[in-house]
């Protein structure tokens, strides 16, 4: 399948936006990833953050990541307010979404389902609340498949009739910049993607490294 440069697609959209009042619902996976995304998008949009991540395990970790996002919200609200939509933690929804795929590793079909069910909730809310656009911070991670994320976004745009902002935030040193900003703002950066399976996978990798084995 043809590989599309979604960073360029985003730049094409940003170029034709009417003013900086265009309403964007931004799905945020965590505070550190949101820093650089907000740096890029804040001048183009009226932004509302949506921390919709029932995949995160355990609940304490979910609360910890949400707290960091609230910190980022307050930092970036300095010149222009960044809003936030409340979300509810119900991990049963995640387990339903990835049923039968639990044993697949990170980057597999399990993750595609995990992106899709979170992004679908964001698209639904964006439509319901009258946003002009929706998107996600997920593409900033080098471990996330930007081609798949954007294909899901395109599908949801058609399904719900709300614009999807194509993106590949890791490009143009975006990921590196998110690490720099996270350290500048002293944010907590998690060591695993989020779900219980990724926590177990990260534990196994760590153990193998400690035992001096190849991974
Ligand atoms: S590894 Fe990350 S993207 Fe994949 S299923 Fe787990 S939380 Fe979702």
> Which residue's CA is the closest to the ligand 1 atom numbered 3?
111
CA distance 205 to 148: 26
DSSP string, 102-159: TTS-TTSHHHHHHHHHHHHHHHHHHHHTT-SEEEESGGGSTTS-HHHHHHHHHHHHHH
Per residue in 5-29, pLDDT (tens digit) is 999 999 999 999 988 889 999 999 9
pLDDT for position 128:
98
Of ligand 1's listed atoms, the one at least distance from the Cα of 197 is 6
Ligand 1 center–CA 33 separation, angstroms: 15
Work out the average pLDDT over 39-56: 97
Determine the Cα–Cα distance for residues 152 and 125; give it in Å rounded to an integer: 16
Summarize pLDDT for 142-188 with one digit per residue, the tens: 999 999 999 999 999 999 999 999 999 999 999 999 999 999 999 99
**Residue 55 alpha carbon, nearest atom of ligand 1:** 7
CB within 8 A of 64, min separation 6: which ones?
188
Q: Is residue 69 very low, low, confident or very high in pLDDT (cuts 50, 70, 90)? A: very high
Sheet holding 133-136, edge to edge: 83-85, 45-50, 22-27, 133-136, 163-164
Q: What is the pLDDT of residue 1?
A: 75
Tell whether the model's pLDDT for residue 114 goes beyond 80.
Answer: yes
Position 61 scores a pLDDT of 97
Mean pLDDT to the nearest integer, 36-65: 97
Please state, rounded to an integer, the average pLDDT across all residues of the chain. 95
Confidence check: pLDDT of 215 > 60: no
Q: What pLDDT is recorded for position 208?
A: 87
User: Is the confidence at residue 213, as pLDDT, over 70?
Assistant: no
Residue 52 pLDDT: 98
Q: pLDDT-derived band of residue 214, with 50, 70 and 90 as boundaries?
A: low
Over residues 70-106, the pLDDT tens digits come to 999 999 998 899 999 999 999 999 999 999 999 998 8
Atom of ligand 1 nearest to the CA of 107: 4
Span from the CA of 215 to the centroid of ligand 1 (angstroms)? 19
The confidence score (pLDDT) of residue 30 equals 97
């Amino acid at each position: 399948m043809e590989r599309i440069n979604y960073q360029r697609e985003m730049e094409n959209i940003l170029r034709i936006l009417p003013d900086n009042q265009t309403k964007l619902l931004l799905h945020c996976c965590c505070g550190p990833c949101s820093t650089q995304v907000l740096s890029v998008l804040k001048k183009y949009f009226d932004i509302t953050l949506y921390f919709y991540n029932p995949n995160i395990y355990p609940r304490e970790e979910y609360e910890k990541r949400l707290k960091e996002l609230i910190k980022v919200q307050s930092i970036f609200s300095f010149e222009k307010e960044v809003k936030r939509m409340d979300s509810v933690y119900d991990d049963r929804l995640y387990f339903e979404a990835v049923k039968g795929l639990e044993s697949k590793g990170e980057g597999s079909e399990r993750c595609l389902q995990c992106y899709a069910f979170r992004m679908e909730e964001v698209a639904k809310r964006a439509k319901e609340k009258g946003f002009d656009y929706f998107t996600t911070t997920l593409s900033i991670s080098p471990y996330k498949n930007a081609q798949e994320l954007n294909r899901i976004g395109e599908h949801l745009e058609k399904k719900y009739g709300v614009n999807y902002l194509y993106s590949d935030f890791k490009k143009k040193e975006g990921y590196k910049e998110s690490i720099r900003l996270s350290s500048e703002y002293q944010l907590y950066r998690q060591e695993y993607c989020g779900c219980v399976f990724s926590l177990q996978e990260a534990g196994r990798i760590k153990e193998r490294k400690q035992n001096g084995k190849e991974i």
